[in-house]
Amino acid sequence: MNEAWNAWLDQLRALPHGEVGAALGEVLMLSEIIATDLPSELGGDFREQVPVAIKAHLARFQRAAQRAPLMERWVESELLPTLDLLSRWLSRAHHAGSTRAENELERLLFEGLDTACAAQGWFGIQRVELGQTPFDPAQHRAVEQRDGPSGVIVGLLRCGRTDPAEGWPIHKAEVAVGGAG
């Protein structure tokens, strides 16, 4: 990271709910690294979709953070679609075999954004390890079946959210489950 990025992230942190903004800023900062690890067509799609969406969401975050009553609407209309976008890209990176991109997206979602959202008392982000996490109907909602290990989550379409204190699901992750293929 260079000094300009650090200064910008510090400006985001200074806003109300700023750790969430800074976590999104980190996604933007690392988007080129992630895109570079993806196969060329996917990397191009990632470059066209993700940085543009994150920049727009961050601009609205900066405006909404100045008006506390708007913050709740920003979470619903801006943050949740961003988390779902990153979830779908995590799945695409996993299926493309792009380990570095997958690892970065997992870290950004399940550590950076999870920590920032939980610290606000909003929600935690339910961790799903593609190809490893068993499907559990109490935790997940199956919306597709794909080739892969039977009964294991092989795709993440929408991330799950958990109560930050208790850990129980407040919104189940929408997943693709492996089955005989």
pLDDT of residue 74: 87
- Tell me the pLDDT tens digit for each residue of 102-133: 999 999 999 999 999 999 889 999 999 999 99
Between CA 138 and CA 155 the distance in angstroms is: 17
Q: Give the pLDDT confidence score for residue 16 in this predicted structure.
A: 85
Is the Cβ–Cβ distance between 172 and 179 less than 8 Å? no
Where would I find the H helices in the chain? 3-14, 18-37, 40-65, 68-74, 80-96, 99-107, 114-119
pTM: 0.92
- The 10 Å CB-count burial string (b at 16+, else e) for 117-135 is bbebebbbbbebebeebeb
pLDDT on residue 180: 59
The predicted pLDDT at position 30 comes to 93
- Mean pLDDT, each 10-residue run in order, the chain (181 residues): 85 89 93 94 95 93 77 84 96 95 96 94 94 96 94 96 91 92 56
Report pLDDT for 98.
95
Q: What pLDDT shows up at residue 71?
A: 67
